[in-house]
Amino acid sequence: MSRLFGTDGVRGVANRDLTPELALRLAFAAAHELVEERGSASGRPLAVVGRDTRPSGELLEAAVAAGLLAAGVDVELLGVTPTPAVAHAVTTSGVDLGVMISASHNPMPDNGIKFFARGGVKLADETEARIESRLDDEWDRPTGAGVGRLLDAAAERRRAAYVDHIVASLPTRLDGLRVVVDCANGAATTCAPDAYRAAGAEVVVINDDVTGYRINDACGATHPEVVAEAVLAEGADAGLAHDGDADRCVAVDRDGRLVDGDQILAVLALGLKDRGALARDTVVATVMSNLGFKKAMAQHGVRVADTAVGDRYVLERMRADGLSLGGEQSGHVILLDHATTGDGVLTGLHLLARMAETGRGLAELASVVTRLPQVLVNVRVADKDAAMARLSELTAAVEADLGDDGRVLVRPSGTEPLIRVMVEAGTEERARSVAEALATAVR
């Protein structure tokens, strides 16, 4: 069987690839791996389960709950709630694991399952592999009083505690700022508007349909042009766009220009550095972060630690090195002093707070990063290892030619027979020319 877990949990077309039978087995195996083997934090094991607005979420929620209950774990169903709110709930005393049912920014027919271990952290590769290996194991099943119970609904209390927590993390209030918030017709609808308003901002909400049929549909973080149009129409100071499960955030300034995850990370890094709160004057970013971001950080005395693509790898590096800030170009940002995973609403709050405390517009703050044109080409290959070997020498020669004004990143896809070729250069024409030359060599 091919590996089920990808970069961020298990994903597929709901009820075809990701079936309720598979969801039940995953939950049952995860309960034994994460709870039975390590013991419960408070005697009776307790799990929290959240989902985004997708219609298939209800189906998979029932299956996941059944798997946990069958393993003797009590369950609180949080309903539609952001991924970081699930992670926050697992940091609460007495909660042993969390499950989020979401395919993040993927289209509506897809869904996914991701797990949070005690402390609110995503699982290491080794833990995911053990869960996969145990899917068909047989255990003695509890009976009678040993069977798990569905506890009284705590969804509103958990969400309110999450909102209170992230608003309390701000260094200043947001009074006087007018912001448009694109909820991507997803889980952000339950928390994001409340959080921004509680912090003092005037909020205009768009794409807050909770039926789930339009989640991520031409809206949210993958379509920032939508929030940009609304910002111009509303005369707002900024726009924030979340994805389906609200763990990412991209922004636009008052003129509708995109502020991506690299720029957001830079703004937050310099704000923390000014307050003496940027641990070791270092920020963690993935290999996909723009070279312009790295140059900007170097100019301001901030070191950049690179990781593989995926916010859990960012978190692993942060925890290993005792760092406080990391993120991805896509808008996953981790503020480890306040959260254990990427949190789009927390990110949006702190970005607005930086505007409020400096009195500077988002365009001015984001201008610290001059992004180099970046071109990404996916090349389908029969043998990824052979293709990578062929590209190794070519890549070294191209990088030497680009010098300090560009870079090349070549990496195999983890799930498809593709080689991903990314080139940054001083002009888009130059970047595209180099990328296509490398792609042609592979083909």
Token pair of 117, please? 């271990």
User: Residue 426 half-sphere exposure, CB side, CA atoms within 13 Å?
Assistant: 5
384-392 own/partner pairs: CB under 8 Å, 24+ apart = 384/412, 384/413, 384/417, 384/418, 384/419, 387/412, 387/419, 387/442, 388/412, 388/419, 390/441, 390/442, 391/419, 391/421, 391/438, 391/441, 391/442
User: Residue 81 half-sphere exposure, CB side, CA atoms within 13 Å?
Assistant: 27
CB of 322 closer than 8 Å to CB of 279: yes
Which alpha helices (H) appear in 172-285, and where do they start and end? 192-198, 224-234, 261-274
CB of 99 closer than 8 Å to CB of 49: yes
Nearest to 365 by CA among 430, 314, 300: 300
- List Cβ neighbours of 439 (8 Å cut-off, separation of 6 or more): 377, 379, 421
CB of 163 closer than 8 Å to CB of 196: no
Specify the amino acid at residue 340: T
CB of 40 closer than 8 Å to CB of 92: no
Gap between the Cα atoms of 160 and 120, Å rounded: 17
CB of 67 closer than 8 Å to CB of 18: no
CB of 106 closer than 8 Å to CB of 11: yes
102 catalytic? Reply is no
Catalytic choice (102, 104, 289, 324): 104
Question: Exposure pattern of 183-198 as b/e (b: 16+ CB <10 Å)?
Answer: bbbbbbbbbbbbbbbb
- List Cβ neighbours of 37 (8 Å cut-off, separation of 6 or more): none
User: Residue 129 half-sphere exposure, CB side, CA atoms within 13 Å?
Assistant: 3
Residue 134: count other Cβ atoms within 10 Å of its Cβ: 18
Which alpha helices (H) appear in 120-207, and where do they start and end? 125-133, 155-168, 192-198
* Cα dihedral 214, 216, 218, 219 sign: positive
Residues acting as catalytic residues: 104
